[in-house]
Each structure stands twice: as structure tokens, then as C-alpha cells.
């Protein structure tokens, strides 16, 4: 993979990671809200509302787990791509420099 392609891939991976992390933060807020609503339903002994909220809470926890797993995988991809770019840059630095041409080939001026 050339350097430009690797950089483009890294950018896409970082955007996906950021989006996933934003979704996780939103889900954290929703989980807290649902947890509070469930507690209120228990205190009020509203069984229908308890079941409804527990179902929503369960689904929200599952989606949260999915996004957390996705973020971990995306972070590993980011690390791998970044390491690949770093290796390419280090390899480019170690290659000998080709001296610039000071005269035209075959003596043509």
C-alpha cells in the first residue's frame, strides 16, 4: 500500500472510530436515563412500564456492547495502519538519496 492510500485509509478509520465513540457516549447517556426511568417504574409499581423500559434498556445495552466491540476493532486497525505508515516513512528515510542530474544524458546540452 502506498503512502497516500495508507493515509486515506487511516483517515477513514479515524472518522469511523470517532463516530463510533460518539455513539457510545450517546448510548451511555441513554442507558443512564433508562436506568433512572426503570427505577421510577419500580418505585411506582408500574409493571407494564417496568417491562417496557427493561426491554429498551436491554436493547440499548446490546447496541452499546456492539459499538464498544466495533470501536476496539477499529482502534486496532488504526494502530496497524499508523504503524504501517511509520514503517514506510522510516524505510523511505533509510533509502540512499539519488544525486540530482547535473548534465543531460549522453552529453546532450
Q: Is the pLDDT of residue 25 over 60?
A: yes
42-100 pLDDT tens trace: 999 999 999 999 999 999 999 999 999 999 999 999 999 999 999 988 887 776 655 55
Please say whether the beta carbons of 19 and 102 come within 8 A.
no
pLDDT at 92: 78
Q: Is the pLDDT of residue 13 over 50?
A: yes
Rg (CA), the chain: 27
Residues 69 and 59: their CA atoms lie apart, in Å, by: 15
Q: Is the pLDDT of residue 101 over 50?
A: no
Residue 103 DSSP label: S
**Of the candidates 69, 76, 61, 58, which has an alpha carbon nearest to the alpha carbon of residue 10?**
76
pTM: 0.75
Q: Is the pLDDT of residue 6 over 80?
A: yes
Amino acid at each position: 500500500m502506498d503512502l497516500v492510500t495508507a493515509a486515506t485509509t487511516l483517515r477513514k478509520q479515524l472518522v469511523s472510530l470517532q463516530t463510533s465513540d460518539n455513539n457510545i457516549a450517546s448510548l451511555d447517556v441513554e442507558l443512564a436515563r433508562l436506568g433512572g426511568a426503570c427505577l421510577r417504574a419500580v418505585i411506582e409499581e408500574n409493571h407494564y412500564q417496568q417491562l417496557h423500559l427493561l426491554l429498551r434498556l436491554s436493547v440499548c445495552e446490546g447496541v452499546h456492547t456492539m459499538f464498544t466491540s466495533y470501536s476496539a476493532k477499529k482502534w486496532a486497525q488504526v494502530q496497524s495502519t499508523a504503524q504501517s505508515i511509520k514503517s514506510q516513512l522510516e524505510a523511505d528515510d533509510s533509502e540512499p538519496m539519488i544525486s540530482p542530474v547535473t548534465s543531460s544524458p549522453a552529453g546532450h546540452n
